[in-house]
Structure 1
Amino acid sequence: MSTTDAPTCLAFSPDGQKIASGTACSGVTITDISSKSKYQLEMLADAHTHITAVAWSPDGQKIMSASPDHTIRCWYATSTHLVGPPFGGHDDLILAVGFLPDSSHAVSLSRDGELLVWDTGSGAITQRVTVSNAAQTIFVAALSVDSTLLVTSDTKGGVAWEIPKCARIAEIALPDIPLLQAAIIPNNRPRVVLAFGDKSFWTWDVNTGKHDDARFEGLDGDDIPFAMAASPNGKLLALEIDGDVDHPTHFYDIEGHEFTTSDMKCTHPFAFSPDGKFFAASSVPSDSKDGSSDLIIHSVEEASKLNAPRIQS
């Protein structure tokens, strides 16, 4: 797999047995975790094969992807055929896609703050809402695995949205430090991890509006958070550091203590399986003779080294 075929986005199936990976030029590939067998979803000749976001329906029957041409495609997961023609409706880069719990509707968010709710069978837009302040670009966005919680930020602060009602349920004022990443803890009370440019992070409870402050230990002054994901139980955070070639991804507990995973080298995109047993990412290109990247899957137990964080004295 060349660097242009490297994973760009990942989504586990609901049963955690397969993973869909979007690529830069080969569309969507499905990998069986046990057998390592792979197959690709059917891409039409005129389709954009660069995938920017991917999602798996809760019933396991459909897969959805977004492309840089502002379109969304939906496939039958088993037959690999398209459900219908591409969905159009966005005028800017699509940041996130996801299925609602009924599997028959989906949501998509673009950089200009347009949130669309779709009927995945007909492709009809059933709801259109702007989730950013006037003339504000979405800088950071995170969508929960079940697509019922969306977190966005712009220069005015952070907002949590209940989907599909598209109602504001919480707001938070941000410090004068760039917010670089956000990750929603899936299987817990609604909590959001917000990572800032000074290596600090907040764990925000959107029900109470309160947040806990912490810092990622072991980072140098120039280390910038580039990508982040949270395990379903919130006990493990994967954080990629921009420009760190030797050790790009670090693993932390929710208090910022780093796990001793020096042997595990990987880069974004990240994904945790729904049961929290597996962690998927892209391999580090420099580890390959031809500079290629590929999908790698580790057990979460391996990533967290049996829950033995390295706590600095």
Structure 2
Amino acid sequence: MSTTDTPTCLAFSPDGQKIASGTACSGVTITDISSKSKYQLEMLADAHTHITAVAWSPDGQKIISASPDHTIRCWYATSTHLVGPPFGEHDDLILAVGFLPDSSHAVSLSRDGELLVWDTGSGAITQRVTVSNAAQTIFVAALSVDSTLLVTSDTKGGVAWEIPKCVRIAEITLPDIPLLQAAIIPNNRPRVVLAFGDKSFWTWDVNTGKHDDARFEGLNGDDIPFAMAASPNGKLLALEIDGDVDHPTHFYDIKGHEFTTSDVKCTHPFAFSPDGNFFAASSVPSDSKDGSSNLIIRSVEEILGCSPLDVRFRFMVEY
């Protein structure tokens, strides 16, 4: 894979058998995990091939992607042809995209705080809500895999939004410490992991409004969380540390204890498969001869040096 194919974003298919990876210059590549075969979606000649966000529809039939030109495109995953014309109703950089459970509608959020729900075939907008404004800049945003929960934040607080109703369902006051990352745990009791600049993090239950405090162990004073992902069951966190060239990504349990058995070197973008058994990420550029990054896929068992059963056992024994 050349430098132009460096992954910029990625998403597992609903069945966990394929990965859609956006790249810096080559559009969207689909990788079949079992066969390791690849194919690319057909980008139009005038389309921006730099991809900033990508997602699968729940039925596995469509793929959506966002580009820096503020447009979103939707493809049939098998034919690689566009479902409809590009969606260009945003006026700023698109931060997050996803499909609603019916697979025919999408949700998208741009940096200016505009949240849109729209029909992927016709492009018709069914919901338009401003979740922030110029005085309350969105610093961190996270969208659940099923696009039914959105979390946004400004300098003072975080808000959980129910999608597609686009209504506030929970709010939380943040400490006087920069919030750097957020990740949604998409189980039947939605929780949000909020990582702060002092190496601490909260696990926020949006149903009860309560949160647990913890710290990422083993980090130095200059370590800054740069990217984060949570496994579907919430028992494993992947955290990339800015500036850590040799071993940028660390793995933790929900209490902040590090799995020191992991020797996988990877960097963002990264994601867990829907069943939590696989983890995909970008390789560390220093591992290649030309400084490029490749898509790597590892089982959680391989990453942690133990089986998923061992991970569950550790969780039950310690907590």
TM-score range, shorter chain: over 0.9
Matches of 1:34 and 1:134, distance apart in 2: 46
Determine if contact 1:257/1:309 at 8 Å carries over to the other structure.
no
Q: CA deviation at 1:134?
A: 5.4
In structure 1, distance between residues paired with 2:108 and 2:68: 13
Assess if the C-alpha contact under 8 Å between 1:98 and 1:107 holds in 2.
yes
Tell me by how many angstroms 1:154 deviates.
Answer: 0.8
2:45 is equivalent to residue 22 of structure 1: no
Match of 2:96 in 1: 96
Aligned-residue offset at 1:2? 2.7
Distance apart, 1:308 and its partner CA: 6.5
Kept in 1: contact 2:112–2:134 (CA 8 A): no
TM-score, structure 2 normalization: 0.94
Separation in 1, partners of 2:230, 2:252: 10
Distance in 1 separating the partners of 2:316 and 2:249: 15
SS of alignment partner, residue 271 of structure 2: strand
Describe the SS at the equivalent of 1:301. Answer: helix
Aligned partners of 1:259 and 1:310 also within 8 Å: no
1:108-163 Cα offsets, whole Å, 9 max, x none, are 00011100001011111111100115532211000000000000001231000000
Q: What are the Cα deviations for residues 191-241 of structure 1, in whole angstroms up to 9, with x where unaligned?
A: 000000000000000001000000000000000000000000000000000
8 Å Cα contact 1:204-1:212 kept in structure 2: yes
Please state whether the residue corresponding to 1:133 is helix, strand or coil.
coil
SS in 2 for 1:21: strand
Q: Which runs of 5+ in 2 are unaligned?
A: 303-311
Identity level (%):
94
Tell me, yes or no, if the aligned pair for 1:195 and 1:225 is still in contact at 8 Å. yes
Cα gap change, 1:151 to 1:169, in 2 (>3 Å): same
- Alpha carbons 2:225, 2:242 under 8 Å: kept: yes
What stretches of structure 1 of length at least 5 have no aligned partner?
Answer: none
Task: Map Cα deviations across residues 247-283 of structure 1 (whole Å, 9 max, x no partner).
Answer: 1000000000000244200000011111111000000
> Quick check: 1:257–1:311 contact (8 Å CA) kept in 2?
no
Structure 1 stretches of 4+ with a deviation exceeding 3 A read 306-313
- 1:4 Cα deviation (Å)? 3.1
- Alpha-carbon distance between aligned partners in 1 of 2:317 and 2:187, rounded to the nearest angstrom: 26
Q: What is the Cα deviation at residue 84 of structure 1? A: 1.5
- Give the 3 Å change call, closer, same or farther, for CA 178–312 of structure 1 in structure 2: farther
Instruction: Note if contact 1:51-1:68 (Cα within 8 Å) is conserved in structure 2.
Output: yes
Shift of 1:307: 7.1
Q: How far apart are residue 170 of structure 1 and its match?
A: 0.4
More off after superposition, 91-100 vs 254-263: 254-263
CA positional deviation for 1:3:
2.9
Match of 1:308 among 293, 311, 314: 314
**Cα distance in 2 between the residues matched to 1:9 and 1:215:** 27
1:311 aligns to what SS in structure 2?
A: helix
Residue 19 of structure 1 contacts residue 32 of structure 1 at CA under 8 Å; is this kept in 2?
yes
Provide the C-alpha distance between the structure 1 equivalents of 2:201 and 2:112, rounded to a whole number of angstroms.
25
Secondary structure, counterpart of 1:75 in structure 2: strand
Q: 1:96 to 1:144 in 2, by over 3 A?
A: same
For residues 313 and 290 of structure 2, the distance between their equivalents in structure 1, rounded to whole angstroms, comes to 34
Pairwise CA RMSD = 2.0
Distance in 1, matches of 2:26 and 2:212, equals: 41
My pick for the range that moved more, 257-266 or 215-224, is 257-266
CA distance in 1, matches of 2:2, 2:315: 34
Aligned residue pairs total: 310
Normalising by structure 1, we get a TM-score of 0.96
Distance 1:190 1:309, change over 3 A: closer
Q: Distance in 2 between matches of 1:311 and 1:237?
A: 18
